[in-house]
Amino acid sequence: MLAVPRLYEAIWNALKERVADRGRVAAALFFGMLRVCMAARQRLGWNPGKQLFARLHRRIAPRLRLMVAGGAALDPELGRRLRGLGWEVATGYGLSETSPILTMNPPEKVNLESVGRALPEVKLAIDDREGRGRGEVLARGPNVFGGYLNLPDKTREAFDDQGWFHTGDTGSFDAEGYLYLHGRASAMIVLSGGENVDPERVEKALEASDRIREAGLLEHADRLAVVVVPEPELLREVTGDELRRILERTVSEISTDLPSHHRPSHVRVALDPLPRTRLGKLRRHKLEALFEHLEKGDEAAEAVAEPLSPQDMAPDDQQLLSDPAAESTWRYLARRFDDLRLTPDSHLSMDLGIDSLSWVDLTLALREHAGIDLDDSAIARVETVRDLLNEVAASPTGSEGEGEDLLGALRDPQRLLDDSQRKALMPQGRIQVSLEWLIWGLARFTSKGLLRVSVSGQWPDKVPCVIAPRHLSVLDPLALLQVMDRRQAGALYWAGWTGMLFTGPVRRWFSHTARILPIDPGAAPRRSLVLAAAALDRGHQLVWFPEGKRSPDGRLQPFRPGLGLLLKAQPVAVVLVWIEGTHELMPPGQRLPRRGHVKVVVGEPVDPSRPEADEREIVERLHEEMVALGERAAKE
């Protein structure tokens, strides 16, 4: 794999996060093994990481052997970690004018502190005019270009009388001929007192902090200044003046370990990525204008409440948006969250409020707007907008016909059921029927002893249909049991959340016997909707709570579009049920219920589906009907 160092940093950071999520013991074991492997490679030349981390290799890239870093300097410590994990790492140095390699750090004799030794037939020298053993790197060889097209003056500046090409980089050699770079000569900051400041040294020290994502050093009014971009995690915790104070303190603390003339005295905070080239190199000539802009109107005081423009994104993110599906997804998100500071680092849950249940909404919208069908397994891999864009870019589009269209799957669900789902829908034997009678009787007895239920309307005998109750409390199903008789109860299935009803063998047995279907719209929306569609397709009634979860405050919540998609594929009648009183008796978070009165109003069957209506229009109509049913209940 050939990539810029920023990509390898992203791989390592993602790996660290996954390891940390496994717990302290797993993380301690992982990093302990890594330290042993790093020491073995560095001191003994062994590579135990290939075997010890074999599972990691199989999951990430089973055929990957060599990681080549180019375009910028690879952090030596990061290189040692990658080698400790069992991969070979190669680095080098060159410019576009040198086609583009001058030196190579071969894996068999790697020196990660250096950029390697000159390639065959390439000659390198140091313009050491001050006799310090370091100076501008000069190059000659068959790979060095002949000049700049139609720019003779610039060509003459690039070559001296002996034919050496002046690279513009400063460096030095060791006794074995390894080249060490010390920064761009043009990027070196020279203060009026004669102090030479290497900006990359300062930036690297600042970016090592877990609070600073990027740093750009510049000279401003003959003093060092720095523009810093905070890490997204810090930005989620603090904003405004507090954010600025934290970052100023961080810069000050880190600067104590730098030479006195390398310490920035002015700090400005930017919320957008610093301007970079496609290879990730900082566009230093734009830092001064950015610094002055931030000084006039400090972005840290108040974030601009609008999505980040693609032109202002980091090069890697701009490259990601060159994929049509990723671009369509970004455009959709920018429209949906047009009043937020949407960036590739935005966290779907913490920043955008997309929880596990909202994942269904998001995947349906992506199918509609970008032609993308994300499978259920994608949920575990997606945390940020950038993760989502990468997932979309790697997914087959609906227009290509490679992915199974979800709506088509719901129209013919029987062929997609797995063995466990077929078992959940199988007709029950005599023993199970007897146990079901017993469970129903006990539940109804409990319901009557706990709840005084007043009922308005009739439970439907028509099958198949969807029964859509309001959801306030775990007592809602108990209240509904008093509305139906035993025959009606035996004709329906309940949609039950797997996180509550299928977490152990006893609960799984109870749920199966009580005809509760395992539904997990957060982790497995496609699988859950297919199972629900199959129940309707077989002629059963289905109890489905359209709000998706219990109301936290007793007010009616928006309906999730999953029900709309289900009804679009299986156009059956819907019976809405208004429930009052259960929230007061046992709200979310309360362990034990209180006895009391509950009102249940059963509405007339509604046919919300129209051929031209989409899933959102269907649930919006049902929501309006539920509001009207609640108004009717208030008058009774």
Using left for φ > 0, alpha for ψ between -120 and 50, and beta otherwise, residue 82 falls in: alpha
Residue 405: is its pLDDT beyond 70?
no
What's the CATH class of domain 310-403? mainly alpha
Asked if 574 and 540 count as a contact pair (C-beta separation under 8 A), the reply is no
What pLDDT was estimated at residue 522?
56
pLDDT at 380: 72
Phi/psi at 381 (5° precision)? -95, -10
pLDDT of 606 over the 50 cut? yes
Phi, psi of 496 (to 5 degrees): -120, 140
pLDDT digits (tens, 9 = 90+) for 481-509: 999 888 888 778 888 766 566 666 777 77
CA distance from start to end of the chain: 70
Q: What pLDDT band is residue 401 in, cutting at 50, 70 and 90?
A: very low
For the cut 80, the answer to whether the pLDDT of residue 624 exceeds it is: yes
Q: Which residue has the higher pLDDT, 373 or 443?
A: 443
- What letter does residue 210 receive in the DSSP assignment? T
Mean pLDDT of 85-94: 95
For residues 232 and 295, is the Cβ–Cβ distance under 8 A? no
> 386 with 314: CB under 8 angstroms?
no
Instruction: Check pLDDT > 60 for residue 303.
Output: no
Count other Cβ atoms within 10 Å, centred on residue 290: 19
Range 273-301 average pLDDT: 77
| Distance from C-alpha of 474 to C-alpha of 469, rounded to nearest angstrom | 12
pLDDT for res 397: 52
- The answer to whether domain 189-296 and domain 310-403 are alike in fold is no
Note the pLDDT of residue 301: 39
HSE-CB for 568 with a 13 A CA cutoff: 20
Distance CA(466)–CA(619), nearest Å, equals: 13
Q: What is the mean pLDDT of the chain?
A: 85
Q: Is 589 left (phi over 0), alpha (psi -120 to 50) or beta?
A: left
| Encoded tokens for 540 | 């059963």
User: Which CATH code is given to the segment(s) 189-296?
Assistant: 3.30.300.30
The number of angstroms, rounded, from the C-alpha of 145 to the middle of its chain's C-alpha atoms is: 43
Residue 315 has pLDDT above 90, yes or no: no
Fold adopted by 409-635: Glycerol-3-phosphate (1)-acyltransferase (3.40.1130)
Average pLDDT over residues 16-36: 90
Of 77-91, 92-106, 340-354, 606-620, where does mean pLDDT reach its minimum? 606-620
CA separation, residue 48 to residues 18, 51, 85 (Å): 22, 6, 8
The residues with which 94 forms a beta bridge, in sequence order, are: none
For residue 75, which of 171, 8, 15 has the smallest C-alpha distance? Answer: 8
Half-sphere exposure of 529 (CA within 13 A, CB side): 34
560 neighbors 357 (Cβ within 8 angstroms): yes
Pick the range with the lowest mean pLDDT from 124-138, 157-171, 316-330, 600-614.
600-614
> Would you say 108 and 86 are in contact if contact means Cβ atoms under 8 Å apart?
no
Closest alpha carbon to 384 in 231, 214, 206: 231
Whether 523 shows a pLDDT value over 80: the answer reads no
pLDDT at position 575: 94
pTM over 0.75: no
Bridge partners of 543?
467, 494
Q: How far is CA 176 from CA 79, 114, 180, 267, in A?
A: 21, 11, 12, 41
Q: How far apart are CA 125 and CA 135, in angstroms?
A: 9
**577 closest CA partner among 481, 441, 446, 437:** 481
| Residues linked to residue 578 through DSSP beta bridges, in sequence order | 601
Pairing of strands 88-93, 66-69: parallel
What is the number of residues in the chain? 636
Distance, CA of 349 to CA of 41 (rounded, Å): 41
Q: Are 117 and 177 in contact (CB under 8 A)?
A: yes
The mean pLDDT of 602-609, rounded to a whole number, is 86
The confidence band for 97, taking pLDDT boundaries of 50, 70 and 90, is very high
Residue 31, pLDDT above cutoff 70:
yes
Statement: residue 246 has pLDDT above 50: yes
Pairing of strands 117-118, 165-173: unpaired
> Residues 156-166: pLDDT tens digits?
999 999 999 99
- DSSP alpha helix (H) spans, 426-560: 430-450, 476-481, 486-489, 498-501, 505-513, 525-537
Label residue 280 left, alpha or beta by phi (over 0 means left) and psi (-120 to 50 means alpha).
left
Task: Kindly tell me if the per-residue pLDDT of 9 is higher than 90.
Answer: no
pLDDT at 549: 82
The SS3 call for residue 298 is coil
The larger pLDDT score, comparing residue 184 to residue 369, is at 184
Please list, in sequence order, all residues whose beta carbon lies within 8 angstroms of the beta carbon of residue 119, skipping any fewer than 6 positions away.
101, 102, 103, 104, 141, 143
pLDDT, mean of residues 288-300? 74
Instruction: Spell out the domain ranges in the chain.
Output: 1-93, 189-296, 310-403, 409-635
Please report the DSSP string for 109-133 in residue order. G--TTS--EEPTT-EEEEE-TTSSS
- pLDDT in the model for residue 356: 59
| 315: its two tokens | 């090069």
- pLDDT at residue 428 tops 80: no
pLDDT (0 to 100) of residue 509: 78
Rounded Cα distance between 300 and 303, Å, is: 6
Backbone CA torsion sign across 466, 472, 474, 478: negative
Contact present, 525 and 376 (Cβ < 8 Å): yes
Residue in 268, 249, 241 with CA at minimum distance from that of residue 211: 249
Chain centroid to Cα 500, Å, comes to: 26
Whether the per-residue pLDDT at 74 is higher than 80: the answer is yes
Mean pLDDT confidence for 220-234: 89
Tokens encoding 635? 């008058």
Which two structure tokens, joined as six digits, stand for 564?
């709309």
Provide the pLDDT for residue 398.
43
User: Of the candidates 466, 429, 610, which has an alpha carbon nearest to the alpha carbon of residue 540?
Assistant: 466
Q: What percent of the chain has pLDDT over 90?
A: 38
Distance between CA atoms of 257 and 252, rounded to whole angstroms? 10
Q: What is the pLDDT of residue 501?
A: 62
Percent of the chain with pLDDT over 70: 91
Q: How far is CA 192 from CA 195, 224, 396, in A?
A: 7, 11, 58
